[in-house]
């Protein structure tokens, strides 16, 4: 893919301080996603280039701004403009950036010969249709720098909070209408109030950075891009509820996120934004980062509490709720990363500002992750109430491979599949619930005709049954029974009664599981049965998978008419299942075929047919 | 002042104490909800989901055992939604349980069977699967059958919360969860002290005692002479398994024992009496000193001290377990009523509510062969049931003749008898109030007496958690006599007792024993000439004390 | 509550001695002993930090041999049964020795939809790994299924040691494997 350069508009100019009195500021996006595309190498190339060109420039590492489909991203800014965001950078083309920028500002002729397209960022719907509040500076500031965070107005929120009473802070959050962004959508102010009202000598404030949903990375992105925002939010929460100790619970699979948060905490402490007498007030607060040892169920509050206590992450019955009896049996309040990011901004800009956007019962913005068969995959921030259609087609660019989009899966393994006929529904808590889905953490997976809905259900159930902690009967046993049934169906051994079997067990698992993992795990199955029953019936009755995904139902054969005997498939078959008979005819040994599809991919003559 | 709350259950209004669980409230008003993982004295985990009920305002069904009541709560225990869910939860448990009821020791006395019956679950719609995780047979007293386990966690809670032994815990997760020992190395290689509380709390037969009667039968068939030492209260305990209500015992247990081939039977009084006299004499030696004497009669406590408090071993009494002493008496020919025993072909069996004894008999400090097998009360009852023995008759307590050493069965009873004996040796009498102080149903009992002007502390504890607390502070108590038992309320709550062995069952057992003691409390161990002579003979044959170190 | 009991009371010294005799020599090299003591020295005895202690030990040793779990339980003041329960609960902990190279397969939603299962199967066959094991017979690779690296636009993803491969196809597997000894 070739480089696209996006010109930022005037109102996106960076504050002067960020230039540290240099003329230029170069920002290289380094985060977990861009590191897979050799972002470190790119940074080194640009560093060298700056020296060679003797440019008066500040080189900064920044986070990812969410345009993951076009990583690696490098932004070049000059102190009075322009700001150009270069996308699709790799180590081979990185050397073109600075030349291009210099040519641009000097309006050089050779600009027109450049292979680099210039567009205006406001014409790129992926970016322009967003309402970037949390993400405003993500991808433009250095996550390791407290100073840069202060330069963009960081810690204003905490300053204001400390000048108010704890009740005042809680009321501000209450009136903003902020609802927990972790999935449940519980009013944040209400949760804080319960914790505040519980009397105790010791309270705890916890940030849930576990982000276990496969396909969700908005928390990681935010924390890697602007960790101080989250720490500020957690500190504000601590102040409001009366806690002096905070924890950030990060999953071990996201080490960069943990590292950036830890560095931020150390810096904040040094400068008096954490520790004793924060910002010269009476409030003292300390934060510790805890690395989870790997369990999706840790996203559940009481399971996370058990993990912090050094035990198996097995949830406890509620009531009593963590707000009255949580960590070490003390009042504890747990909020998601994104929720806390919003808190910082609410205290800074006011609750009215927050609730200006959003729908009636779901105020504010939310970061969604677009993945799956979507043209532009990444993280975007939009007001709640945005329709699914707008998100997928206008912002995400529609299908990635031309196939028709038939559904979108939202809420991860706890969520449901929404068929295309409902794409005009709004993305807010109530609306999604009415469809049988949940918002969850906000991960959207786009599914097209080339995806099998039964397989998707099986995938999520494989995940949740493996993540079940095993404490309560319905989740421990029920999910596995359901999975076995789904495996039978995708292997062609399903029976018509199986659909009712699945629905009946689902009902019980939802009704009687101990925690939200079990209570929501059947959702993907129930929604796919509800909206895509035909696919189930095809698998059961016709033993057919229309998307050609369920491999047991597929047969790979060589079309002898098209086969030119080039032997490419024979060489590439991982299981050596393609054999030669009488020196002439090439065929696939069905017993050895593992249906990986490699032969079909490598055949230059399209001679492999799948049925 | 207990505050009350108003709740509604199944449409009717009730007033109950604030802070109790929904389950407690339900029981209080006389209604019923089945439970499985809930057990008295253990924390409520809400794991099994059998006791779920519907509460207005809650989206999902809640576990009644773990949810506290609140004012205005509206509870429904039996709506179609609840019934359906409860039934399916039971089916789920059943679908993963190795259903071999015909071969199962809990057949007929199994909580899973009971609930299935009460919910009319005669058919399981889910696919049945046995995980084939095998059986742990590394411990001679207790075995774990993993395929019967329903992962209720009661045994774990008993072992950790009450006994503080922590031999078992959950391992792995989700569908693969196992209740097992560290590294799956088996109970015999873990902290387990074989007290058997786990076997008493298990709702099914997942963790249960290892039976020994087959070995006895084999030896009988190979022409060995089997002599049985029987706990004198067996007649009292075993009645529970046959529906005899409180205040009654079984008449003529010897007839039953003979019918299964056990012809030579003696009661364990002799061993008990000698051990009590022995401890009293040991205690005499530490009066006026700063020492502590810990009774070593409970094999589980012995193991517990060796594993967790090895530095306190030196405080242990050197007097052997009473059943071992009885066995030695037999082997040394010191008992008059046992003639015609071929020493080389002699095997000795103990019938006792103690499971730890099954392990204890193999310890190295009993050099040589003394006691060969132990059969618990539960196993004896199951043998009777298997043989369909019909001839049990009721024996009224007033007609049940016993001897004072039966008090040993109650936690604190031994302490009472040892102090009484000590005082009698010194020519004094015991204050009868001591019986009440020491033999009540509390977990820890303590008092002190003055002997010849010097103070002696008496500390009694049952359940290992309470014993642990005493052992931790023990240096503060000297001089003292310490009686520690692993099982709740002593041997009457032993691992080999009939199931259920709940507080109410134990209370009745204690009451019965105290009643029996009342009938014979004029008797004294020390003042009975036979006991004194037997003691002297046993002492001369050196079979009273352990040889070497613990 | 575990936290309230003194550490020395929570495990059986006698059972420990038995275990020490039972441990296979190949598992407990002297080097391991030293590494275990050094790592645990940095911790204060605090039952709630058992997970951190186990994580630190695994970082140093590559996996958690029996000895490490036992010593960690001792140091932190938790029963061994508790430490074993924790070590077997969390995905992160490996109780068997690992291969020379660690392979992570992303099984996130995007990767699954783009065929993660087939490259996984292809890898199993090519590296000769049984279905229920996770280390190859020649000791080269230990495989893990992971949930989402967050690099969904490059699905399917395979990470071997520190090298990340994107848009992997089953036919490339043999070539990729051959790079690792």
Average pLDDT for B298-313: 96
**Residue A423 main-chain phi, psi, to 5 deg:** -65, -10
Whether residue A241 sits in one domain with residue A307: yes
Name the minimum distance, in Å, from the CA of C81 to any CA of chain B: 5
Domain boundary among B75, B93, B111: B93
Separation of alpha carbons C127 and C137, rounded Å: 8
Is residue A422 in a domain? yes
Those residues of chain C whose CB sits closer than 8 Å to some CB in chain B are 5-6, 9-15, 18-19, 22, 66, 69-70, 79-85, 88-89
Whether residue B360 sits in one domain with residue B479: yes
Is residue B518 in a domain? yes
Residue A153: helix, strand or coil by DSSP?
A: coil
Whether residue C118 sits in one domain with residue C81: no
> Is-contact A251 A211, C-beta < 8 A?
yes
> Is-contact A465 A485, C-beta < 8 A?
no
Tokens (6 digits) for B188: 């015999």
Lowest mean pLDDT among A452-466, B521-535, C156-170: C156-170
Whether residue B249 sits in one domain with residue B204: no
C175 to chain A, any CB pair closer than 8 A? The answer is no
Whether residue C161 sits in one domain with residue C141: yes
Cβ–Cβ below 8 Å for C90 and A313: yes
Is residue B548 in a domain? no
* CB neighbours of residue A217 within 10 Å: 32
Average pLDDT for B486-514: 95
Query: Is residue C24 scored above 70 in pLDDT?
Result: no
Residues 1-20 of C with CB under 8 A from A: 2-3
Name the minimum distance, in Å, from the CA of A551 to any CA of chain C: 10
> Is-contact B86 B115, C-beta < 8 A?
no
Domain boundary among A448, A477, A504: A448
ipTM value of the model?
Answer: 0.92
Rounded to 5°, the CA angle A279-A281-A286 comes to 70
**CATH (domain of A382):** 3.10.20.600
Cβ–Cβ below 8 Å for B307 and C12: yes
Whether residue A294 sits in one domain with residue A225: yes
Is residue B260 in a domain? yes
pLDDT at C13: 54
Whether residue B262 sits in one domain with residue B293: yes
Domain that holds residue C149: 101-177
Q: Residues of C with CB below 8 A from A295's CB?
A: 89-91
**CATH (domain of B115):** 3.30.70.20
Q: How is residue C3 annotated by DSSP?
A: G
Domain that holds residue B293: 217-540
Rounded to 5°, the CA angle A414-A404-C113 comes to 45
B84 to chain A, any CB pair closer than 8 A? The answer is yes
Strand order in the sheet with C163-165: C141-146, C101-106, C158-160, C163-165
Domain boundary among C61, C89, C117: C89
pLDDT in tens, C99-111: 888 898 888 888 8
Separation of alpha carbons A232 and B482, rounded Å: 58
Cβ–Cβ below 8 Å for C81 and B173: no
pLDDT at C2: 34
Separation of alpha carbons A37 and A28, rounded Å: 12
pLDDT band at C30 (very low <50, low <70, confident <90, very high): confident
Residue C137: helix, strand or coil by DSSP?
A: coil
Whether residue B200 sits in one domain with residue B224: no
Whether residue B497 sits in one domain with residue B431: yes
**CATH (domain of B510):** 3.40.50.1780
Interface test with A, best of C55, C150, C164, C166 (most A CBs within 10 A): C150
Tally of structural domains, chain B: 3
Whether residue A290 sits in one domain with residue A193: yes
Buried b vs exposed e over B339-363: b needs ≥16 C-beta within 10 Å? Answer: eebeeeebbbbbbbbbbbbbbbbeb
Helix and strand totals (H; E) in chain C: 8, 4
pLDDT at B235: 92
Q: Average per-residue pLDDT in chain B?
A: 93
Whether residue A458 sits in one domain with residue A422: no
Q: Average per-residue pLDDT in chain A?
A: 92
**CATH (domain of A470):** 1.20.1440.230
**CATH (domain of B12):** 3.10.20.740
pLDDT at C17: 56
Cβ–Cβ below 8 Å for A477 and B62: no
Residues 464-493 of A with CB under 8 A from B: 465-474, 476-481, 484
> Is-contact B371 B324, C-beta < 8 A?
yes
Q: Residues of C with CB below 8 A from A68's CB?
A: 151-153
Is residue C165 in a domain? yes
Domain boundary among C89, C117, C146: C89
Is residue B517 in a domain? yes
Whether residue C105 sits in one domain with residue C85: no
Interface test with B, best of A466, A475, A508, A515 (most B CBs within 10 A): A508
Is residue C95 in a domain? no
Separation of alpha carbons C57 and C60, rounded Å: 5
Is residue A548 in a domain? no
Query: Is residue C149 scored above 70 in pLDDT?
Result: no
Lowest mean pLDDT among A477-481, B161-165, B249-253: B249-253
Is residue B451 in a domain? yes
Domain boundary among B180, B209, B238: B209
3-state helix, strand, coil in chain C (%, to 5): 50, 10, 40
Cβ–Cβ below 8 Å for A468 and B176: no
Q: Residues of C with CB below 8 A from A252's CB?
A: 55, 92
Average pLDDT for C68-80: 96
Whether residue A158 sits in one domain with residue A44: no
Alpha-carbon Rg for chain C, nearest whole angstrom, is 19
pLDDT in tens, B264-281: 999 999 999 999 999 999
Which chain B residue shows the shortest CA-CA distance from A510?
Answer: B60
Whether residue C56 sits in one domain with residue C32: yes
| Spatial CB neighbours of B382, under 8 Å, sequence gap ≥ 6 | B105
Tally of structural domains, chain C: 2
Domain that holds residue A495: 453-542
Whether residue C159 sits in one domain with residue C136: yes
Tally of structural domains, chain A: 5
Is residue B547 in a domain? no
pLDDT above 90 coverage of chain B, percent: 81
pLDDT at C18: 53
pLDDT at C11: 47
pLDDT at C69: 97
Cβ–Cβ below 8 Å for B49 and A319: no
Separation of alpha carbons A136 and A381, rounded Å: 9
Is residue B411 in a domain? yes
Query: Is residue C26 scored above 70 in pLDDT?
Result: no
Query: Is residue C16 scored above 70 in pLDDT?
Result: no
Give Dmax over CA atoms of chain B in angstroms: 77
Domain boundary among B73, B93, B113: B93
Separation of alpha carbons B108 and B204, rounded Å: 10
Domain boundary among C24, C56, C89: C89
Whether residue A347 sits in one domain with residue A224: yes
Lowest mean pLDDT among A566-575, B52-61, B163-172: A566-575
Q: Average per-residue pLDDT in chain C?
A: 80
pLDDT at A394: 96
Whether residue A375 sits in one domain with residue A285: no
Whether residue A152 sits in one domain with residue A49: no
pLDDT above 70 coverage of chain B, percent: 100
pLDDT in tens, B333-381: 888 777 677 888 899 999 999 999 999 998 887 777 789 999 999 999 9
Cβ–Cβ below 8 Å for A470 and B175: yes
Is residue A137 in a domain? no
Is residue C96 in a domain? no
Whether residue A113 sits in one domain with residue A40: yes
Whether residue A481 sits in one domain with residue A442: no
pLDDT at C12: 52
pLDDT at C7: 35
The minimal CB distance from C80 to the residues B172, B182, B306 is found for B182
Separation of alpha carbons B70 and B68, rounded Å: 7
Name the minimum distance, in Å, from the CA of B470 to any CA of chain C: 13
Whether residue B118 sits in one domain with residue B145: yes
Whether residue B153 sits in one domain with residue B229: no
Whether residue A327 sits in one domain with residue A194: yes
Whether residue B121 sits in one domain with residue B163: yes
Whether residue B86 sits in one domain with residue B107: no
pLDDT at C51: 96
Whether residue B344 sits in one domain with residue B439: yes
Cβ–Cβ below 8 Å for A508 and B89: yes
Which chain A residue shows the shortest CA-CA distance from C87?
Answer: A312
Lowest mean pLDDT among A409-418, A571-580, B130-139, C4-13: C4-13
Tokens (6 digits) for C40: 């645990």
**CATH (domain of A168):** 3.40.50.11540
State which residues of chain A have pLDDT below 70.
109-113, 596
Query: Is residue B243 scored above 90 in pLDDT?
Result: no
Whether residue C15 sits in one domain with residue C75: yes
The minimal CB distance from C51 to the residues A307, A371, A601 is found for A307
Whether residue A458 sits in one domain with residue A440: no
**CATH (domain of C138):** 3.40.30.10
Q: Residues of A with CB below 8 A from B52's CB?
A: 511-512
Is residue B550 in a domain? no
pLDDT in tens, A561-595: 888 888 888 887 777 888 888 877 788 888 888 77
Name the minimum distance, in Å, from the CA of A440 to any CA of chain C: 15
pLDDT at C155: 75
Domain boundary among A389, A420, A448: A448
pLDDT band at C10 (very low <50, low <70, confident <90, very high): very low
Is residue C23 in a domain? yes
pLDDT at C133: 75
Cβ–Cβ below 8 Å for C164 and A574: no
A347 to each of A95, A170, B501, how far by Cα in Å?
43, 10, 60
């Amino acid at each position: 893919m070739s480089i696209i350069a996006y010109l930022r508009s005037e109102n996106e100019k960076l504050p002067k301080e960020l230039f540290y009195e240099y003329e230029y500021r170069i920002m290289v996006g380094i985060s977990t996603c861009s590191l897979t595309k050799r972002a470190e190498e790119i940074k080194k190339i640009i560093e060298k280039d700056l020296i060679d060109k003797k440019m008066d420039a500040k080189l900064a590492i920044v986070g990812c701004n969410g345009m993951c489909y076009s990583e690696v991203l490098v932004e070049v800014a000059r102190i009075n403009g322009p700001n150009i965001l270069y996308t699709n950078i790799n180590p081979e083309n990185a050397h073109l950036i600075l030349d291009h920028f210099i040519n641009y500002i000097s309006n050089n002729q050779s600009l027109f010969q450049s292979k680099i397209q210039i567009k205006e960022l406001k014409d790129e719907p992926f970016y322009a249709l967003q309402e970037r509040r949390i993400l405003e500076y993500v991808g433009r500031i250095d996550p390791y720098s407290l100073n840069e965070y202060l330069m963009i107005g960081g810690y204003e929120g905490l300053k204001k909070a400390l000048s108010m009473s704890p009740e005042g802070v809680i009321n501000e959050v209450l009136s903003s209408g902020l609802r927990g962004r972790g999935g449940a959508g519980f009013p944040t102010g209400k949760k804080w109030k319960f914790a505040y009202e519980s009397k105790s000598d010791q309270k705890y404030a916890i940030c849930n950075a576990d982000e276990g949903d496969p396909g969700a990375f908005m928390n990681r992105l935010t924390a890697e891009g602007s960790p101080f925002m989250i720490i500020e939010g957690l500190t504000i929460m601590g102040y409001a509820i009366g806690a002096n100790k905070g924890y950030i619970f990060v999953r071990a699979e996201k080490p960069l996120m943990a590292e950036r948060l830890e560095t931020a905490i150390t810096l904040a402490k040094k400068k008096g934004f954490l520790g004793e007498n924060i910002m010269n007030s009476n409030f003292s607060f300390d934060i510790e980062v805890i690395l989870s040892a790997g369990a999706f169920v840790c996203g559940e509050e009481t399971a996370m509490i058990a993990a912090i206590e050094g035990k198996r992450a097995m949830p406890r019955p509620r009531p009593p709720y963590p707000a009255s009896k949580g960590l070490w049996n003390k009042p504890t309040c747990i909020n998601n990363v994104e929720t806390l990011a919003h808190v910082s901004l609410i205290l800074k800009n006011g609750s009215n500002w927050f609730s200006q956007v959003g729908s009636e019962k779901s105020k504010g913005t939310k970061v969604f992750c677009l993945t799956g068969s979507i043209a532009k995959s990444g993280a975007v921030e939009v007001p709640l109430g945005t329709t699914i259609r707008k998100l997928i087609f206008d912002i995400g660019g529609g299908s990635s491979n031309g196939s028709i989009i038939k559904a979108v899966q939202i809420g991860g393994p706890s969520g449901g599949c929404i068929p295309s006929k409902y794409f005009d529904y709004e993305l807010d808590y109530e609306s999604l619930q009415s469809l049988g889905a949940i918002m969850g953490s906000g991960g959207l997976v786009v599914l097209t005709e080339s995806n099998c809905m039964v397989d998707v259900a099986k995938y999520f159930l494989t995940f949740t049954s493996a993540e079940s902690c095993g404490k309560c009967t319905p989740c421990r046993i029920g999910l596995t029974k359901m999975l076995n049934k789904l495996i039978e169906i995708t292997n062609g051994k399903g029976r018509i009664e199986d659909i009712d079997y699945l629905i009946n067990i689902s009902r019980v698992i939802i009704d009687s599981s101990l925690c939200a993992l079990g209570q929501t795990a059947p959702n993907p199955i129930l929604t796919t049965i509800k909206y895509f029953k035909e696919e189930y019936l095809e698998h059961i009755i016709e033993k057919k998978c229309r998307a050609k995904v369920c491999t047991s139902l597929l047969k790979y054969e060589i079309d002898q008419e098209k086969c030119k005997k080039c032997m490419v498939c024979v060489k590439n078959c991982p299981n050596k299942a393609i054999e030669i008979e009488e020196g002439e005819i090439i065929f696939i040994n069905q017993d050895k075929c593992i249906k990986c599809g490699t032969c079909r991919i490598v055949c230059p003559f399209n001679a492999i047919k799948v049925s | 002042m207990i505050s009350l709350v108003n709740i509604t259950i199944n449409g009717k209004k009730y007033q109950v104490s604030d802070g109790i669980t929904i389950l407690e409230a339900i029981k209080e008003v006389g209604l019923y909800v089945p439970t499985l993982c809930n057990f008295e004295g253990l924390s409520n985990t809400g794991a099994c989901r059998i006791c779920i009920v519907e509460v207005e305002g809650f989206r999902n069904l809640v576990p009644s055992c773990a949810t506290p009541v609140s004012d205005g709560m509206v509870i429904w225990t039996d709506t179609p939604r609840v019934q359906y869910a409860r039934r399916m939860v039971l089916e789920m448990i059943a679908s993963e349980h190795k259903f071999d009821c015909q071969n199962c020791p809990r057949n007929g006395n199994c909580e899973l069977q009971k609930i299935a019956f009460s919910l009319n679950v005669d058919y399981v719609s889910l696919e049945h699967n046995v995980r084939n995780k095998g059986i742990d047979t590394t411990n001679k007293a207790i075995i774990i059958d993993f395929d019967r386990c329903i992962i209720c966690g009661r045994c774990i809670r008993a072992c950790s919360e009450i006994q503080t032994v922590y031999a078992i815990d959950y391992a792995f997760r989700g569908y693969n969860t196992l209740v097992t020992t560290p590294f799956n190395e088996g109970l015999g290689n873990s902290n387990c002290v074989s007290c058997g509380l786990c076997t008493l709390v298990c709702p099914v037969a997942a963790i249960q005692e290892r039976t020994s009667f087959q070995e006895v039968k084999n030896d009988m068939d190979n022409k060995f002479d089997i002599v049985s030492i029987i706990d004198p209260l067996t007649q009292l305990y075993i009645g529970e398994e046959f529906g005899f209500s409180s205040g009654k015992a079984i008449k003529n247990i010897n007839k039953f024992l003979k019918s299964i081939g056990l012809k030579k039977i003696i009661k364990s009084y002799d061993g008990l009496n000698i051990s009590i006299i022995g401890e009293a004499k040991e205690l005499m030696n530490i009066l006026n000193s700063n020492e502590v004497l810990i009774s070593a009669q409970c094999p589980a406590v012995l193991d517990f001290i060796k594993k967790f408090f090895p530095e306190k071993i030196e405080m242990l009494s050197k007097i052997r377990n009473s059943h071992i002493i009885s066995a030695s008496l037999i082997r040394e020919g010191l008992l008059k009523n046992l003639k015609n025993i071929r020493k080389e072909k002699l095997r000795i069996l103990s019938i006792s509510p103690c499971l730890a004894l099954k392990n204890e008999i193999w310890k190295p400090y009993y050099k040589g062969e003394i006691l060969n097998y132990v059969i618990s009360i539960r196993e004896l009852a199951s043998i009777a049931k298997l043989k369909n023995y019909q001839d049990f008759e009721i024996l009224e307590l007033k007609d049940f003749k016993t001897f004072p050493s039966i008090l040993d069965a109650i936690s604190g009873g031994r302490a009472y008898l040892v102090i009484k004996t000590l005082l009698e040796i010194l020519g004094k009498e015991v204050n009868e109030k001591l019986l009440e102080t020491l033999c009540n149903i509390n977990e820890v009992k303590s008092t002190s007496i003055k002997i010849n002007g010097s103070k002696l502390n008496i500390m009694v504890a049952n359940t290992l958690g309470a014993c642990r607390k005493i052992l931790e502070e023990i240096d503060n108590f000297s001089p003292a006599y310490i009686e520690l038992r692993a099982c709740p309320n002593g041997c009457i709550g032993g691992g080999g007792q009939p199931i259920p062995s709940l507080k109410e069952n134990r209370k009745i057992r204690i009451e019965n024993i105290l009643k029996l003691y009342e009938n014979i409390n004029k008797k004294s161990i020390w003042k009975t000439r036979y006991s004194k002579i037997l003691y002297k003979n046993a002492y001369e044959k050196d079979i009273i004390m352990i040889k070497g170190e613990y | 509550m575990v936290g309230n009991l003194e550490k020395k009371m929570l495990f059986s010294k006698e059972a420990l001695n038995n275990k020490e005799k039972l441990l296979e020599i190949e598992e407990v090299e002297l080097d391991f002993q030293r590494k275990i003591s050094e790592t645990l020295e940095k911790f204060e005895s605090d039952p709630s930090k058992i997970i951190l202690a186990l994580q630190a030990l695994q970082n140093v040793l590559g996996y958690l041999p029996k000895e490490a779990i036992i010593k960690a339980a001792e140091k932190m003041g938790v029963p061994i049964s508790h430490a074993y329960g924790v070590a077997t609960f969390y995905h992160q902990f490996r109780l068997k020795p690992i291969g020379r190279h660690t392979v992570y397969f992303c099984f996130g939603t995007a990767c699954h939809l783009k065929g993660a299962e087939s490259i996984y199967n292809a890898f199993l066959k090519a590296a000769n790994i049984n279905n229920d094991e996770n280390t190859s017979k020649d000791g080269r690779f230990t495989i893990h299924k992971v949930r989402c690296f967050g690099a969904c636009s490059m699905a399917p993803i395979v990470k071997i040691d520190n090298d990340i491969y994107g848009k992997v196809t089953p036919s490339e597997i043999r070539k990729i494997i051959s790079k690792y000894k």
